Each structure stands twice: as structure tokens, then as C-alpha cells.
Structure 1
Amino acid sequence: MLSEDKYYLKIGKAPDLKSPKERRIYRVFEIIPGILAWGTILGVIFFSWFQPVWIAFFIIIFDVYWVLKTIYLSAHLRASYRQMKKNMDINWMSKVKKQKNWGNIYHLLILPFYEEPFEVIEKTLQALIDSDYSKDKMIVVLGAEERAGKLAQENIEKAERKFGQSFYKFMTTTHPEGILGEMAGKGANSTWMIRQAKEKIIDPLRISYKDIIVSCGDIDTRVYPKYFSCLTYHYLTVKNPTRAGYQPVPVFNNNIWQTSCFSRVVATSGTFWQMIQQMRPERLSSFSSQALSFKTLVDVDFWPVNMVSEDSRIFWQNLLYYDGDYRAIPLYYPVSMDANLAPTFLKTSINVYKQQRRWGWGVENIPFLLFGFLKNKKISKRVKWHWTWVQLEGFWSWATNALLIFMLGWLPLYLGGDWFNTTLLSYNLPRITRTLMTIAMVGLIGSAIYSTLLLPKRPKGQSLVKYFGMVVQWILIPFTILVFGALPGLEAQTRLLLGKYMGFWVTPKKE
């Protein structure tokens, strides 16, 4: 259990605080991201009318910044891809065996699921068996939700029959419905599962908490063969391994050939962003399917059970608990997940939007972080300012940059009045903007190349012509970063601004 002075580590939203003063402070922090985003958008609209010359220069400067940023990020993507390909060829197991006490390490796999079909569960468990790490060092916990009903229980029974003897320990749990203080979602189920594993397996066997690496991800997450040996090597060789999270690169290759063009572009763009972040470890935080020490989770009382984005929150929870001494270690090694796929193109597109909105709801970590920085005086100002800037700038960019580039850049021409439209600046503004954006769009060539390099082998039934589609689909990027990027991000921040808190939406899985 956490000490009383660490109570703020379990806050999900402002109403969770007992003190009226603290609720008001937390609520102000919740408002900040939305105010910044809407202030930027409305400010550009207002000044396009009030001071069109100022805003025209701002737009040109911003476009130049975007071109330079595109070049910078493209270089990081290229370097990350090379490192990832290199890491996939390394014999990590031979490197692990050279480390002291490597045989003491266990892997605890937390696999929560809801209504996913058994085929999804089966392929995930089979991928564990196919990995190069000893199954005698794997403890697998498969966790259903009581609210999922009979089908979930049938899936648990099937999994036990087929995989029950395949690992050192294989345990199944059912998370009860309606526990007071919990939000129905992955975080609550994962915490229930790991508590059960601690009570029934780890403590009775007296396994050292420092010798257990916990991996938790969505049920569709399939590991590549050398993932656990790569993870183990990093855990054994980094300084203070219990003060770090270990982040693989999520690729959405499970069904990438079957899903729609919008879903592919959005999913692959997400992979590219995570690859870029691996090259910038000073900005890297945890995402889906991360790993960390069991001791770390015990120290912070496991994942939060009252919020949506528990997979990212755990990083900030640990950062605050350890007084700023916590970091994410990039693995440059992939795990494969499902891209959005529904029975129809329209339904798939709707699900893509909902998933992006759920990820955008990670903005709820900003007020948590700011409130935690206010409460924890032991964290250095440098750490506080660094992470405050990284988070605010990141979510602000998510919600505003695409709108500024593709929509608001033309506003001075329409709102600036006749006097502005007679100036040389008004004549050159669209031409300068178009030229700069054309240069920036050259980066799409790199995106198309890397997306094809990341593709899994073409499955039977998929024509060679689809390879062409995998390249051409990148012309959709201006549309996707607006509709499936900026808009869901802005909606999430607007909901937080208004106090309209989101619940957990489960991405449908189809096999």
C-alpha cells in the first residue's frame, strides 16, 4: 500500500480529491490543455481579421518550422528503422547467458481480455511459446471480465486446456464487476490479475520481486521470437533496472493486409511516431505493451484502476513516486498488434476515430503530472520543467498543428479585408505556404518506403496489386492527420476542458 503522503498517485480526475481547494487546483490543470489548443485556434482566427499581416508572418514562420521539424523527424525515423532491423538480427539469448544471474529472471505476462474471440487469444499465447526464451521462466496470467459473460469464461477454459501445461505457471482470473472505486477497463482488470498472481504464485514461491519482469499489453499483442531475450538483456544491463520501463516498438502487422487504407495509414503513422520517440529517450514515456519490474509495480501499488490511459499513467505514477528518478528504455524491437478492422469501411473508420480519441485522452495525464509536481517537492525543477514542456507541447501539437497547416493558413485572405488583399504579402502568402508544404510532403516518400519495409509477408488471397495500394495510400496523409489526428485529439482536450470525462472504450478485435 502507498503511504498517506502519496495519495495523489491514485487520482484519476478532479472529483476524486477530497479537499475542495485541491479539487479546484486539479480542475485548473485539467483546463490548461484545452485552453491552449482552443486559444491557438481562435487566436489565429481573430488575428486573421484584426492583424492579418501579423498572422501571415506567423503562418510563414510556422510553415518553415514544420518543414524543419519534418526533416528532423524523418532523420530520426531512418535511424530508428536501421537500429530496429539490426536488433532483430542479434542473437540476444547468447548475450543474456553472459550476464550474471540471468537464470534467476522470470517473465510475468499479464494478458487481460474482454470480448475478443478465442482465435485472438490463441495466437497471442502461441507467439509466447514460439519465442526463444525458456517457457519454464514464464508465468502467464489470462484475465477475463465478469461483465463479458459466458463467452469469456468459455475462452478461459479453452486456453487452459490448450496452454495450461505450456509454461512454468499458467493462471486464469475473472475480474469481478462493480468493485467500488474502479472504472470498467483494462487497468482495473490488470491490477486484479497481478494481485492474484502475487498472492497465489509469486509470494508462495518466494521469487524475488527484482527478478520478475512484468509485460502487460492488449490481448492481440504478439511478440516476435527474440523479444523476451532482448528485453531480458536490457533489464540485466541497464543501471537501476527497477527505476525504468522498457518500451518496444508497436507495429500493427497482425491484420495490416486486411484492413482499410485509412486504418493502415493511421496505424503505421503511430508506429513511425513510436520509432521516432525511441531515438529521443529523453522524451520517451510508456505506451501500450510496455514492460517493467514487478518490484516497481509493488512499490506504486500497481496500475491505476479509475482511469482510461493506465498504460501511459504508470510511467508518470512511477516518475512521481521515485522523485523524478524514472525513465523509459527504448528496446528498438517490435511487438505486433491489430490495426482497426470492422465489417464495413465506415465502421472501421469510426473505430479508428474512437481509438485515436481514446489515445488522445492520454491528455488526462497532464493535470495528474502538474498536480504531482506541486505535491512532490523532492523532484528537481529541471525534471519538472522538462516533462511539463514535453507533455504540453506534445498534446498542443497533436490538436492544433494540422489545423494550422491545412486550414487556418488561408484565413488572412478571407478575413483580412480589401486592404490586406491588395498587399504583396497577400499575393505571396498562398504561394509560399504551398511551396513549403510541398517540400514537407516529400517526407511522404520516406513514409511509403518504410511502410512497405515494415510489412509482413503477403498472405494468400492478397493480390500483388495491393502492394501498389500500400504505397499510394500515403497521399491520404493530409486527410488522416486532420480527421484521425487533430480532431480526435482536440475533442479529447475539449472534453477534459469541460469536465466531460471519458470512459474506457474497448477496440473491437476481429480474427
Structure 2
Amino acid sequence: MNFPFTRHHLSRKEAFLQRLFEILPGALSWTILLGMVALSALNPILAALVIIAFDVYWILRISYVIIFLILAYAWLEVEKKTNWMERVQGLANVQAHLETLQRQPSKKGLKRRLSRWTHQKELRHLLDSRSEHLSPEDVHHLVIMPVASEKMEILRAGLESLRSGDYPSTRMVVVIALEEWAEPKIKDGIAELMDLFRGAFMDLRVVVHPSEIPGEARVKGANITWAARDSADYLSRRGIPFDHVIVSCFDADTVVSASYFSCLTYNFLICPQRQRASFQPIPVYHNNIWDVPSFAKVLETSSSFFILAETTNPEKLVTFSSHSMSFKALVEIGYWPVDMISDDSLIFWKALLHYEGDYRTVPMYVTLSMDVIDAGSWWKTAHSIYKQKRRWAWGVEGFPIIMRGFLAMKDQPLRKKLPHIIKMLEGHIMWATWSFMLMVIGWLPALFASRVYSNSVVYYSAARISTIIFSLSYLNLFILILLGLALLPRKDVRYGFLKRLLFILQWFLLPWTNLFFAAIPALDAQTRLMFGKYMEFWVADKRRVD
């Protein structure tokens, strides 16, 4: 479907729908919050009942997510020691590889048996699909790393991880997408890296994105789109088919695990509809996690948990941060949006609309690591993290465009579009309201009508219900702490017991942390969109301590 994925240059009808859907998320969030404040003042008993019902729903929903988080983490552990490169090589002849596996004796250990059983199941599914066979030798990787103000040591670690992995780096074309307006010291650092990594890849290129191109905003999507268009010409000149190329867009601080590209290649090759899929790894924030304040550790670990839990529902999984996709698909849909901030998730929705619903995200149980924001001091880091979370929440800018796209998608039945709409809208509303409901509004009925409330049946029932809810909350929190500790990088002698203790204790402040660094930034972003105060891209502060 040829749909204009932008808020600019719209017809009068489209512009009206755009503004209507821009207003909707913020209006709903404020209606819920202000409505509950008003209800607490006018009818505190009814407000208390609503809050109790919400608390019950909240704990059930969180417990449900925790269950799937445990399952996803367990599968991440199952695949941790998988030899992905061996599996890639086996795909040169799928039938022969499957027969060889079936003749081999079962491996010891539950994890290995589960992994092997899944591998054989995927091979049989690939054979049954009768999709076009693509040899591993035909696959090339295009890696785009945008750079604006990132320092050389940040980018160097990422390039080193590409070179030192188990996948041949000689099959990678690495493109450093450099902004023209970058400072001279950044450009000098890039020149040093070019010398340092010369010959390490099939090619290492620098593509400079010109400033002030008409129709573009000062956003990452414009930079990486310029680099991707240039790379399309590069690949065409060398006769490399686009459908043989997997493009990965990584932030400059991304450090991939040793088996990342072999796992990606395997998942690409066994996917029958590989040209209609994105591939989402599990992002973790381990590069500098021991050098940042404890609240920042907990916040970014929570972000990893969110994606990890989402992988258990591939039908609704949306790309986030660093991810990969078919270069052919990227070219067909017209690359990333060049006038919007949230390119990492919007590229999925743009593809879904272009292919009229025939697009999906494939979860990969392999990690890549990025930096936690570190601005040098506690207060500066807190301020920068707030701005980063507001930028993430600004993903709501895509909601009105996606809604317009769904309305234009006439051939798709409502039952296929509605789950996406509900999940997207619900996610934004929960993001902005849940912490307020739990930490602030939940106390208002008792404050507004203490005498009436204390003599009611609701008052006596609320205590018992609250006890049950908080007991279950502490159980869930205990599970999160254990998983958080398990997900952290291996112990470094520089970071002893005290660092880990602070990390554990910070989890008990998670409700307040989420209020200030999740709910308020989300409400801020939605309010700005509601009033047409559009945000600009902001590059996060990141540094590493040697």
C-alpha cells in the first residue's frame, strides 16, 4: 500500500484525522487522571472501589507478565550456549542437515535437548514451507552505525565486537553514518577508526549526511536513510542482490555478543517469509552498568525485561532500538522516516502498512549491549535519563499516522487491525497513568473523605485487599530482583558486594522511580503532542570509565 508515512503535506481530511489522533492519547490519559481526582473529591467511596478494582487488575496483569518473563528468560538461557555458526553452516543443505541431526544421539542436559528439538522443528517447518532456498554463502550483512556526537572510544568497542564475533566479518559492509554538522574532533576520531579497522570487514565506509536537506528533520532517521540510499547504490554496483542482504541499524554504543550475527543469519535463513520480517534481539545495558547510579541500572534492566517478555508474543512484537531486517524490504518501503524521532519502532509500522498487514517481528534469543546514560553526576544523569525516557515516550507521535494508515487499509478486516490498535493505545495510556494511579491517586479517597470513608465497608475491605495485593507485589518484586541479578554481567572484581546490594535495594523504590522516569515523561510527551508542540531529536549523554 502506497501510504504517506508523515504528518506533513496532507489533504484537509488527512490533516484533520492527524490532529484528532494526536490529541487522543493525551486526552485519554488526562481524562483518566483528572477524572479520578474529581471522583475522589465528589464520591470517595466510588473512587475507592474503582482504585481497588484497578489494583486487582494491576497485580493480575503484572503477575501475568512475570510468568512470561520467566519463560522468556528461561529460553534465553536455553539458547545461551547454542553454536549458531554450526547451525548456519548446516543450512547449506537443509534436508541432509536434518537427517544428520536425527541420526545423532540425544545430547545430555535438558537445555541442549530443548534447543535441539526446536532446531529440528524449525528445519522441518522450513522444508514444508517450500520457500526459496538461500545458501549461507549468499548472505551479506550491511551494518549502519549513526554518529553525531559519540566519542571514538564508544564506537570503537562496537566495531571491535563486529570484528571479533564468530561470523566472518569479511561478509559485512559497515557504514558509519556521520552527520555533516559533527564537531571536528568527532570526524578526526572517525578517521582514526578507519585506519584502525582497515581490512577488518568486506568494506568499512563513512557516509556523510548533508545538513538542511528539504523535507528532513534533524533526526537519526534522516541520517541512516541517507546512508542506506548510498549503500543501495554501492550494493547495486557490486551486483549484490538486495534480498541477500540483512541490514542492521545499531546505535553507536551497541556492542554485539560473539554469536549475534550467526544467530541473526540463522533466523533470517529459516524464516520462510524472510523478506517480510524484522529480527529483534534482546537489548541489555551492560557496557557501563556498574558505573551509573543504581536507579539507572534498575530502569534499564526493566527496559530489557519489557522486551524479553514481549518476545513471548511474536504476533504483536514491535521492533525496539537496535534490530535487523531484509534490505530489500527496507528499500521497498522507502527507508526510515526522515522527519520523525522514533525510527526504531516506526520502521515496523511503516512496513506493516506498506505490506498491508503481511509483516512481522521475529524474536531472537541473543543479546546485544548498549550504554546506560551517564552524564557525569547523579543529577545530570537523572536529567538526561528523563529526557531519554521522554524521547522514547515520544513514540506516541507514530500513533496518529498508524491510525490513518489502518483507516486507509481497506482490504484488511477490523479483527486483524484492532489488536494492534488496542495494544498500541493501551500501552501509551498505561505508560502515562499507572504509576500515578498506584502512588498518588490511590490515596486521595481517604484524604478527601476520611470520616465517611473510615465508617464504610469499603474501608475495612480495602485493608484486606491491600494486604493481598502488596504480598503478591513483593513476590513479583522478588522475582524481578533475582532475574535482574541473573541478567547482570559476570562479577567484576572492581564491583563488589556493596554495588550489588545497592542494586537490590533500588528495586524497592521502583514504583517511585517509574513515576518520575516513566509516567511523567510519558505524560509530558503526550501533552506536547496533544498541543502540537513537536519535539526535536536529542543525543543522549554516554561515557565509559576505563
Q: Is TM (by shorter chain) over 0.5?
A: yes
The C-alpha deviation readout for 1:384-431, integer Å capped at 9, x for no partner, is: 101000101111111111111121112111224743443232344355
Q: CA deviation at 1:378?
A: 2.3
- Partners of 2:437 and 2:201 lie apart in 1 by 52
- Partners of 2:504 and 2:443 lie apart in 1 by 29
Please tell me whether residue 342 in structure 1 is matched to residue 375 in structure 2: yes
2:209 to 162, 168, 175: 175
TM-score normalised by L of structure 1: 0.95
Partner of 1:506: helix, strand, or coil? Answer: coil
- Asked if the contact 1:324–1:380 (Cα under 8 Å) also holds between the matched residues in 2, the reply is no
- Partners of 1:207 and 1:72 lie apart in 2 by 46
- Farther-moved stretch of structure 1 (241-250 vs 425-434): 425-434
What amino acid maps onto 1:33 in structure 2?
P
Please tell me whether residue 312 in structure 1 is matched to residue 345 in structure 2: yes
- Asked if the contact 1:63–1:437 (Cα under 8 Å) also holds between the matched residues in 2, the reply is no
What is the percent sequence identity of the aligned residues? 37
What amino acid maps onto 1:87 in structure 2?
E
Task: Report 1:102-501 matches (<5 A).
Answer: 102-199=136-233, 201-416=234-449, 418-429=451-462, 432-501=465-534
- Partners of 1:237 and 1:245 lie apart in 2 by 13
- Asked if the contact 1:50–1:416 (Cα under 8 Å) also holds between the matched residues in 2, the reply is no
- Farther-moved stretch of structure 1 (462-471 vs 489-498): 462-471
Please tell me whether residue 94 in structure 1 is matched to residue 86 in structure 2: yes
Pick closer, same or farther for the CA change 1:420–1:472 going to 2, 3 Å. closer
Q: Structure 2 regions of 5+ residues with no counterpart?
A: 93-134
- Asked if the contact 1:88–1:226 (Cα under 8 Å) also holds between the matched residues in 2, the reply is no
- Partners of 1:157 and 1:39 lie apart in 2 by 53
- Partners of 2:13 and 2:70 lie apart in 1 by 48
- Asked if the contact 1:115–1:151 (Cα under 8 Å) also holds between the matched residues in 2, the reply is no
Q: CA deviation at 1:475?
A: 1.2
- Partners of 1:350 and 1:418 lie apart in 2 by 41
- Asked if the contact 2:3–2:353 (Cα under 8 Å) also holds between the matched residues in 1, the reply is no
Q: CA deviation at 1:133?
A: 0.5
- Asked if the contact 1:140–1:170 (Cα under 8 Å) also holds between the matched residues in 2, the reply is yes
2:27 to 35, 38, 46: 35
Q: CA deviation at 1:135?
A: 1.2
The C-alpha deviation readout for 1:236-293, integer Å capped at 9, x for no partner, is: 1112111111000100000001110111111101011110001121221000001000
The runs of at least 4 consecutive aligned structure 1 residues that moved more than 6 Å come to none
Matched residue, 2:106: none
Partner of 2:51: helix, strand, or coil? Answer: helix
Partner of 2:144: helix, strand, or coil? Answer: strand
TM-score normalised by L of structure 2: 0.89
- Farther-moved stretch of structure 1 (187-196 vs 463-472): 463-472
- Partners of 2:479 and 2:459 lie apart in 1 by 33
The C-alpha deviation readout for 1:149-201, integer Å capped at 9, x for no partner, is: 212211221111011210011111111111111111211110111111111x2
Partner of 1:98: helix, strand, or coil? Answer: helix
- Partners of 2:52 and 2:522 lie apart in 1 by 24
Partner of 1:442: helix, strand, or coil? Answer: helix
Matched residue, 2:110: none
1:8 to 4, 16, 21: 4
- Partners of 1:389 and 1:420 lie apart in 2 by 35
- Farther-moved stretch of structure 1 (129-138 vs 48-57): 48-57
Partner of 2:248: helix, strand, or coil? Answer: strand
Q: CA deviation at 1:460?
A: 4.7
- Partners of 1:41 and 1:189 lie apart in 2 by 38
- Partners of 1:354 and 1:336 lie apart in 2 by 21
- Asked if the contact 1:80–1:278 (Cα under 8 Å) also holds between the matched residues in 2, the reply is yes
- Asked if the contact 1:66–1:440 (Cα under 8 Å) also holds between the matched residues in 2, the reply is no
- Partners of 1:480 and 1:417 lie apart in 2 by 28
Q: CA RMSD in A?
A: 1.4
Give the aligned length.
Answer: 502
- Asked if the contact 2:319–2:345 (Cα under 8 Å) also holds between the matched residues in 1, the reply is yes
- Partners of 2:464 and 2:518 lie apart in 1 by 26
- Farther-moved stretch of structure 1 (82-91 vs 290-299): 82-91
Matched residue, 2:56: 64
Partner of 1:248: helix, strand, or coil? Answer: strand
What amino acid maps onto 1:8 in structure 2?
P
What amino acid maps onto 2:381 in structure 1?
T
- Asked if the contact 1:338–1:509 (Cα under 8 Å) also holds between the matched residues in 2, the reply is yes
- Asked if the contact 1:56–1:412 (Cα under 8 Å) also holds between the matched residues in 2, the reply is yes
Please tell me whether residue 47 in structure 1 is matched to residue 30 in structure 2: no
Partner of 1:156: helix, strand, or coil? Answer: helix
Matched residue, 2:16: 24
Partner of 2:405: helix, strand, or coil? Answer: helix
What amino acid maps onto 1:189 in structure 2?
N
- Partners of 1:416 and 1:28 lie apart in 2 by 37
Q: CA deviation at 1:50?
A: 2.5
What amino acid maps onto 1:111 in structure 2?
M
- Farther-moved stretch of structure 1 (68-77 vs 43-52): 43-52
Matched residue, 2:77: 85
Partner of 2:314: helix, strand, or coil? Answer: coil
- Partners of 1:125 and 1:434 lie apart in 2 by 51
The C-alpha deviation readout for 1:325-359, integer Å capped at 9, x for no partner, is: 11110002111000111111000111111111110
Pick closer, same or farther for the CA change 1:456–1:281 going to 2, 3 Å. same
Q: Structure 1 regions of 5+ residues with no counterpart?
A: none
Q: CA deviation at 1:66?
A: 1.3
Q: CA deviation at 1:18?
A: 3.2
- Partners of 2:365 and 2:308 lie apart in 1 by 8
